[in-house]
Chain A
Amino acid sequence: MDTLAVFVLSEALDLADGDREFFLSLANLFLQESPKELAAARAALARQDCRGLAAAAHKLKGSVLPICAPRLFERAQRLELLGRQGDCAEAEPVCADVERCLAEVHAALRDVIAGGFPS
């Protein structure tokens, strides 16, 4: 069982110094940008470009930090490492895992955007 949280709203808000409006802007930007990084990782993997895979995973990993999504961060980090190690074969299932985790985070963010912050 995965013990890492999908998304920790309280920490994300803390990083945004409690500025909810700013956090929503950040979340929207993440929703817009993160699929591009995932697509870049997928494309790199398809052409067995391990350096490209590592770069895309690194970028995705960086974008997750302000959002506070520990599970996605951990998967992206693992994918980056495999890319650095030149292990594209092993990276395939991890990339799929990253895709799942990203979808979870997107869903959680959309909930916050649509439903507002819990009181």
Chain B
Amino acid sequence: MNHDSTQRIAHSFGSSAPDCFMVATILLVEDEPVTRMSMAARLKRLGHRVLEAGNGREALDVAGRERPDLIIVDWMMPEMDGPTFCEMVRRDPAMKSIHIVLMTSHDQPAQIAEGLARGADDFLSKAASKQEITARVLAGLRTGRLVRELETTGAQLESSMLLLQTKQTEMEADLQSAAAFVHSLLPPPGSPAPGFSLAWEYQPALTLGGDLFGVAAIDADHLGLYILDASGHGVAAALRSASLMTFLRVENILQLIGSYDPATVLREANRQFPLSAEGEYFTLWVGQIHLPTRTLSYASAGHHGVLLSPAERPSRWLTRPSSPLGFDQAAVFAGDQITLQPADRLFLLSDGIYEAPSTTGEPWGRWRFQQAVEAQQHVPLAATIAHCFTEARRWQAQSDFLDDAAVVGLELSV
């Protein structure tokens, strides 16, 4: 479209001039010279730039070159008549939305329908009054401008969509990369210490999870382990969790407090990770196993998901009522101790697994988890954990979890 040629001349009409008053480029296609001269003069008197063509073929060349804002074309012309010209314009992607007014003396409904079907937007009688000609031209220009605006808006939307898709692809790649990094920080399954085997399964609710865990040797005689659960999930929770995970690194803890005593670790974590301005917090369970005596010391800050599942005795949850981290700077976290027996299994889990809701909203629950674990006591640890995930998924009737779901299993050899 020849937008440059479309200039408002509102100043001629004062500030109340309607939007439709504008200087436009109009192509007039008429084989009869007297009519063409008369109509061209009228359009020029309205202030428009007028291009003239004596037949449809010539008009197609002019229209392609000049992209007029409006075309007024005679119906009956030699070589190419008006309706055929309309069809040709509509087939050209660059010109298809130009407003076309067909000049005709045909006023029968069938002929009007034919004109519309073949691409005309409006009709104008050659005998029309100058007022009607003026009104139809202005209406055509106004409609043409609206169509162009719609096309522009559509093109801008499409461009924005492409930009968004590109950004989203980049962001997803970043998230995948971050998730891979976080995954690399998790303990490798296998044997973290002589006489212990480790297996785990982790399914974040989104690409990046806010629930993390660690199992690592503190020294030759001690194995440290923890599971943390950040409120919320997604990138923000993952970033906060990564920060707490860094804090819980053995070297850092030993440097800060001199030992990996669970209650002391929680006290220091509670001091360093206060409730955020947005009300976000962590639950954390920390344990330390003295390998020579198989003594497990542990403490919990609001984390209720640690189950001891002995081979020949009833399971028990290793937790006691406590606050999550950051709620009370003066909070004291009590420590407990138990002695592990051969074939004992310790499960550290996030609430995403046992709070998985059924279709009616009922959580799967810690006791169903416990039942699943006890029923699988004699199968390999990794299979037991996989079974728990299968049961939780069956319960919630979907594969993905609403919250991060993690189950870490640690087993003493017989």
Contact = CB atoms under 8 A, between A and B. Distances in A.
Interface string A56-78: 00110011011100000000000
A55 B75 CA distance: 12
Contact of B35 (A16, A22, A66): A66
Interface stretch (A23-31, A41-49, A93-101): A23-31
A76 B105 CA distance: 14
Contact of A25 (B31, B37, B45, B127): B37
A66 B76 contact: no
Interface string B177-204: 0000000000000000000000000000
B32 A62 contact: yes
Interface string B63-87: 0000000000010101000000000
A52 B37 CA distance: 24
A2 interface: no
A36 to B, nearest CB: 10
B414 interface: no
Nearest to A16: B41
Contacts of A55: 76, 78
Contact of A33 (B34, B41, B74, B126): B34
**Which size class do A's interface residues fall under?**
10 to 19
A19 B44 CA distance: 13
B38 interface: yes
B91 interface: no
A15 interface: yes
A22 B41 CA distance: 8
Dominant SS among interface residues on chain A:
helix
B34 A63 contact: yes
Looking at A15, A55, A59, A62, the one whose CB has the most chain B CB atoms below 10 A away is A62
B316 interface: no
B33 interface: yes
B3 interface: no
A16 B45 CA distance: 10
Interface in B77-126: 78, 105, 126
Given A29-B33, A33-B32, A65-B126, 10 more contacts: A19-B45, A25-B37, A26-B37, A26-B38, A29-B34, A29-B37, A34-B34, A59-B76, A62-B74, A63-B33
23 contacts: A15-B130, A16-B38, A16-B41, A17-B130, A22-B41, A25-B37, A26-B41, A33-B32, A33-B33, A34-B34, A55-B76, A55-B78, A59-B31, A59-B76, A62-B32, A63-B32, A63-B33, A63-B34, A65-B126, A65-B127, A66-B37, A66-B38, A67-B34
Interface of B: 31-35, 37-38, 41-42, 45, 74, 76, 78, 105, 126-127, 130
Interface of A: 15-17, 19, 22, 25-26, 29-30, 33-34, 55, 58-59, 62-63, 65-67
